Structure 1
Amino acid sequence: MRSSSIPIPKAVLFDRDGTLIQDVPYNGDPGLVAPMPDARKVLAELRGRGIATGVVSNQSGVARGLLSRSQVDRVNDRIDRLMGPFDVWEICPHGTEDGCGCRKPAPGMILSACRRLGIAAAEAAYIGDIGSDMEAAEAAGVRGILVPTPLTRPDEVAAAREVAADLAGAVSLLLGVAPVGIGQ
């Protein structure tokens, strides 16, 4: 039985680098993709409950000329093979100065993912590792849960509405129960 009156989301969207996979700055090499602890189990738990999954990720290395969109796509394909299939992918290749509506902390990618999934934003949740992830979740009207890493600033943790120690803890918060098989 759920201990909370907050409904279980129809979709859980994830930040990519530092949340689903180890953060390798401007990674264009699929061979460097390494899942975060419990990522596969968390995703299997969600999918087993009929909850859609998606990835929402800033990839400013494209705008900066540090990697090509093709390299980003190859890394994403590797992630999909290791942990997918994901129901939706949203990637922003723009830089901060481009002023687009998709780059987090703007809500564009999250809202687009919800539209593509055929759900209202209030029916989704977003898990990320930095403050701009939580700002994007709030701006989009989705529940946001921060999973800090050593790179997450203390002020970002303090500002987050919900914080979990790891992915399994974040999913436990979303489901209102301890997910079966996670952390074992």
Structure 2
Amino acid sequence: MSLKKAAFLDRDGVINIDHAYVHTPEEFTFIDGVFEACRLLQQAGFLLIIATNQSGIGRGYYTEDDFQKLCQWMKERFEENGVRVDDIFFCPHHPEKALPAYRMECDCRKPKPGMLLSAQKKWRIDMKSSLMVGDKPGDMQAALAAGVGTRIFVGKDGLCCPEPIAECTHTARNLLEAAEIMVGKFK
């Protein structure tokens, strides 16, 4: 069985506008071009895997059940737009600002690579041919630590192109520009 390539996507700031601790459909606003970007990536053979820190769970702002309900709602919006989200990995932990059950140093909270490595094992992913799109340095650090070959640093909420950082391989304004970079690489 051959290895697959994946597009690892951060959620808040990459897929949706980051209103801080988004956990209901009413708070969730898709960033322009997200569905088109994900269709391009899927057509190029990438699995779509969301990897998101969700310390709002650990802080008690919302529950894991609230998060799962929002994920289901989000996946349904993707499906309505011809896109399949293959998997969602999340970290509810925080080392300091969390309820006791979630207060811990873990290997899944970005910038650590645990979510990406779990996805690699579950889906048999070739990390070198994979992609990470994120709007925070921690996204790029996690991807580099996991061996993800292409790491595209995008502007928060798709508003502007950020300055490059050492851990990224490219910068782009938003997920659509990032997808266009990747699709261009594989033509």
TM-score, with normalisation over the residues of structure 1?
0.83
Hey, what does 2:22 align to over in structure 1? 27
Match of 1:45 among 37, 40, 47: 40
How far off is 1:131 after superposition?
A: 0.6
Pair 1:149-2:168 in alignment: no
Return closer, same or farther for 1:85/1:61 CA change in 2, 3 Å cut-off.
same
Is the Cα contact below 8 Å between 2:5 and 2:126 reproduced in 1? no
Structure 2 Cα separation of the partners of residues 29 and 85 of structure 1: 20
Paired letter, 2:131: A
What root-mean-square deviation, in Å, do the aligned CA atoms of Structure 1 and Structure 2 show?
2.5
How far off is 1:59 after superposition?
A: 0.2
Return closer, same or farther for 1:89/1:28 CA change in 2, 3 Å cut-off.
same
Which 4+ runs in 1 deviate beyond 4 A? none
Return closer, same or farther for 1:81/1:66 CA change in 2, 3 Å cut-off.
same
Hey, what does 2:122 align to over in structure 1? 116
- Structure 2: stretches of 5+ with no match in the other structure: 97-103
Is the Cα contact below 8 Å between 2:134 and 2:140 reproduced in 1? yes
Hey, what does 2:99 align to over in structure 1? none
Match of 1:56 among 45, 51, 55: 51
Pair 1:133-2:139 in alignment: yes
How far off is 1:99 after superposition?
A: 0.7
Return closer, same or farther for 1:75/1:156 CA change in 2, 3 Å cut-off.
farther
Structure 1 Cα separation of the partners of residues 172 and 25 of structure 2: 28
Hey, what does 1:163 align to over in structure 2? 171
Return closer, same or farther for 1:161/1:50 CA change in 2, 3 Å cut-off.
closer
Return closer, same or farther for 1:156/1:73 CA change in 2, 3 Å cut-off.
farther
Calculate percent identity across the aligned residue pairs: 31
Match of 2:74 among 74, 79, 90: 79
How many correspondences in the alignment?
170
TM-score, with normalisation over the residues of structure 2?
0.81
Match of 1:66 among 61, 64, 68: 61
Structure 2 Cα separation of the partners of residues 93 and 161 of structure 1: 28
Structure 2 Cα separation of the partners of residues 141 and 74 of structure 1: 31
How far off is 1:89 after superposition?
A: 1.0
- Structure 1: stretches of 5+ with no match in the other structure: 1-8, 180-184
How far off is 1:10 after superposition?
A: 1.9
1:85-137 CA deviation, whole Å, 9 max, x = no partner? 31111010111341100000000001111222112322321101111111111
Paired letter, 1:117: W
Structure 2 Cα separation of the partners of residues 78 and 61 of structure 1: 18
